Amino acid sequence: MNNDYRMLNGIKIAENEMVEAEVTDIERAALKRTLRSKLNRRGKKGGHWQRNAAAAAVLLGVGAVALGLTFPAYATSVPFVGDIFKLIDKGSSGSGLYDSYKENSTEINISKTSQDVTITLNDAIFDGKTTTITFSIKSETDLGENLTLKGYPTAQKTSGASGSQKIIKVDEGRYVGIITATSFDHNGADSIKMNWDIDSIVQMDGDSMREMKGTWNFALELASTEQTVQLVGESTEHGEATLAIEKIIYSPMSFTVYYGYDISKEVAQEWNDPDIELSIVDNLGNVYNGQGNGGRGIKENSGMKWSMTKTFQQLQPDASELIITPTIVKPGEDGQTVVLDEIVIPIKK
Amino acid sequence: MKANETNFVRRLQKHKEDALDYVVDTYLPLVKGTIAKVLIPLQNNGLIEECINDTFLAVWHHGDQFSGAPEDFRKWIYAIARSKAIDSYRKEMRQRERITAEEPDFNAQLTQSAEDELFLAEEQAEIKGLLNQLEATDREIFIMKYMLGMRSDEIADRLGLTRTAVDNRIFRGKKKLKEKAAHIKLGGNLA
């Protein structure tokens, strides 16, 4: 259809006619993805797009020869999704936990290519305990809908770590992800040295699983964001379970609660190794969403003693107290819970 | 360099991808709101999505047809979105009419009188070409009425004319277009 959009210039339109609808970042990303796939299909038929790309490639080639450079390892392949932290959070839990991460993070932009797949580390942030890294994956061939990277970021000088990763697809063969690694032995550290050796990309589609082996090795050193430590030492009990809040470390983008709990052998057996969940509100009624970083348990004579941390959303500047409500949660479908007495902590930072 | 509020039109016209991203980021709420307003009665989200895609593709491929300051772009993309939605609404209604001819009220929102049938051919480039033969005000009225699906009283209000004046201009304009169209043999569509 040979449309003439010139006619639509300067038409008198009233401001109140133009109504905006709510749009999520996911919708924006999905639309960009659709548009790109349509444009690229057109390009293969010899449209504008292809010709422009060819012209750009020629220019790049000339530039590279003249300067005597090879293609740099530091590819600034800026993904078209600006804030990966937020995008992924909105696409999964929508907790708002990562809202202030981007502005406090360090841009990394290191790429490694193996098997025609380029993995770029985009941003990284270390809060003294947990390292959070955003990355993007670009593949010539599409890798399906669900990916997992094998190989975990490992801190030097630590006895172990826990963490999680989440990857979403943003375009054909393009993905963005976030990974967290919480070191057992870094508790308010000033900096961290990490190695992240990825040795395969696992594609999960329904029940089938495919693994692509390769080598994408990264090393990075990160200084921590500013930290303020508040020692707490408050505890609450229920039957033979005790929960103690050890300390809270405040960072510009979040705060992390260090806590431990003891559960007697009997209760642990009866409750099938329960977890203790923390929920936090402040004295002004703001609710803080968070994400557990995991931790480790040590067997003691009476049962297990767990040391855990959980990271919560950026602290509201006007809050003066945090009210923490611990809940014992029995694993499994029935979701049996016991709410413990709340702990009120005056904020000192 | 990245697209921003001052350079995005230029970059769009040069087919820089980042300009398309900028346009999506900035105008998707307006485009979606505009299209949804027209198409929500049809209860077909697929249709809304298709129109949103078409609008942005049109902006990408025909960015050079935009003229004006960057702040006028908002109105231009609104008009494109609205005309895509109206096109799609009419197409869908015609299809449904064919299937359920016994439900005439179904199409109450955009009733097509026998005379309006002329503009069922509007999707044909010839008719749009003919609009250029009308004088400026008439052309604007025709675009508002047939491309943007506005009512005569709304158009009158917008252009500072009386409703009667708008209807008269439409009547005369149609006559003129019919004469012109006869020369290019649109035949059946004009019966």
Instruction: For residue A164, tell me if it sits in a domain.
Output: yes
For A53-84, the pLDDT digits (tens) are 333 333 332 322 223 232 333 333 444 457 88
Q: Same domain, yes or no, for A288 and A243?
A: yes
Mean pLDDT confidence for B152-160: 87
In a domain, A213, yes or no: yes
Q: Is residue A142 part of a domain?
A: yes
Domain boundary among A223, A245, A269: A223
- Per-residue pLDDT, averaged over B100-125, amounts to 43
User: Is there a domain that residue A55 lies in?
Assistant: no
Same domain, A273 and A183: no
Report long-range pairs for A201-204 (Cβ below 8 Å, ≥24 apart): A201/A117, A201/A137, A201/A143, A201/A147, A201/A148, A201/A149, A201/A150, A202/A147, A202/A148, A202/A149, A202/A150, A203/A143, A203/A144, A203/A146, A203/A147, A204/A144, A204/A146, A204/A147, A204/A148
Residue contact B53–A38, C-beta within 8 A? yes
- Whole-number pLDDT of residue B129: 66
CB-CB under 8 Å, A22 with B74? no
Query: pLDDT at residue A133 above 60?
Result: yes
| Residue B172 to residue B191: CA distance in whole angstroms | 17
Q: B-chain residues within 8 Å CB-CB of A1?
A: 123, 125
Question: What tokens does B44 get?
Answer: 């077909």
Q: Domain for residue A1, yes or no?
A: no
- Residue A99 within any structural domain of the chain: yes
Residue with tokens 């990966």: A84
Domain assignment present for residue A60? The answer is no
User: What CATH class does B112-191 carry?
Assistant: mainly alpha
Flag whether pLDDT at A348 surpasses 80: yes
Listed by start position, the domains of chain B span 1-111, 112-191
Are both A147 and A258 inside the same structural domain?
no
Residue among B20, B124, B133, B145 with most chain A CBs within 10 A, to mutate: B20
Do B20 and A34 lie within an 8 Å CB cutoff? no
- According to the model, what pLDDT value does residue B23 have? 94
Q: Give the one of B15, B66, B143 whose C-beta lies nearest to A48's C-beta.
A: B15
Q: Is A187 exposed, middle or buried (0-12, 13-18, 19+ CB in 10 A)?
A: middle
Q: pLDDT for A209-230, tens place per residue?
A: 888 999 999 998 888 998 899 9
DSSP A207: T
Q: What is the mean pLDDT of residues A95-102?
A: 86
* Per-residue model confidence (pLDDT) at position A345: 94
Q: How far is CA A75 from CA A108, A111, A120, A165, A328, in A?
A: 10, 6, 8, 23, 47
CB pairs under 8 A between A and B: 110
Listing DSSP states for chain B in one string gives: ----TTTHHHHHHTT-HHHHHHHHHHHHHHHHHHHHHHHGGG--HHHHHHHHHHHHHHHHHTGGG--S-GGGHHHHHHHHHHHHHHHHHHHHHHHHHHH-TT-GGGGGGG---TGGGGGGGGGSHHHHHHHTTS-HHHHHHHIIIIIS---HHHHHHHHT--HHHHHHHHHHHHHHHHHHHHHTT-GGGG-
* The pair of three-digit structure tokens given for residue B146, joined into one six-digit string: 């047939």
Q: Are A258 and A309 in contact (CB under 8 A)?
A: yes
Taking contacts as CB-CB distances below 8 angstroms, the residues of chain B near A20 are 29-30, 32-33
Are residues A189 and A107 located together in one domain of the fold? yes
Contacts of B155 in chain A (CB under 8 A): none
Of A172, A143, A129, A157, the closest CA to residue A312 belongs to: A129
CB neighbourhood size of B62 (10 A): 16
Domain that holds residue A105: 84-223
| CA A342/CA B8 separation, integer angstroms | 53
User: Which of the listed residues A223, A253, A281 is the one where a domain comes to its end?
Assistant: A223
Q: For residue A261, what are the β-bridge partners?
A: A243, A306
Q: Which of A1, A19, A34 shows the shortest C-beta gap to B37?
A: A19
Same domain, A237 and A273: yes
A300 and A247 in a common domain: yes
> Token digits for A179?
């990974």
pLDDT tens-digit profile of B36-74? 988 888 877 888 988 999 999 999 988 989 988 888 999
Chain B residues inside the 8 Å CB shell of A41: none
pLDDT greater than 80 at residue B13: yes
Percentage above 70 pLDDT, chain A: 82
The contacts of residue B81 (CB under 8 Å, 6+ apart) are B30, B31, B34, B35, B51, B52, B55
What are φ and ψ of residue A327, in 5° steps? Answer: -130, 130
Closest chain B CA to residue A52: B15
Q: What's the domain count of chain A?
A: 2
Higher local confidence (pLDDT), A64 or A316: A316
Cross-chain residue pair B57–A35, CB shorter than 8 Å: yes
**What dotted CATH number matches B1-111?**
1.10.1740.10
Confidence (pLDDT) at A145: 84
B185 compared with A325, residue with greater pLDDT: A325
Q: How close B102 gets to chain A, by Cα (Å)?
A: 32
Contact B110/A at CB under 8 A: no
Q: What is the CATH number of the domain that holds A148?
A: 2.60.40.1630
What is residue B1's predicted lDDT score, i.e. its pLDDT? 65
Among A4, A6, A8, A22, most B C-beta atoms within 10 A, so best to mutate, is A8
Tell me the mean pLDDT in the region B154-168.
Answer: 89
Give the pLDDT of residue A165.
Answer: 85
B132 touches chain A (CB under 8 A): yes
Q: What's A271's domain CATH number?
A: 2.60.40.1640
Amino acid occupying residue A18: M
Whether B135 has a pLDDT exceeding 50, the answer reads yes
Q: Which two tokens stand for residue A111?
A: 């790429």
Are residues A144 and A185 both part of a single domain?
yes
Same domain, A249 and A131: no
What's chain A's average pLDDT? 79
Is residue A20 assigned to a domain? no
Mean pLDDT score of chain B: 77
Residue to substitute from A4, A18, A33, interface B, most B β-carbons within 10 A: A18
Both A317 and A289 in a single domain?
A: yes
B1 in contact with chain A, both atoms CB, cutoff 8 A: no
Q: How confident is the model at residue A263 (pLDDT cuts 50, 70, 90)?
A: confident
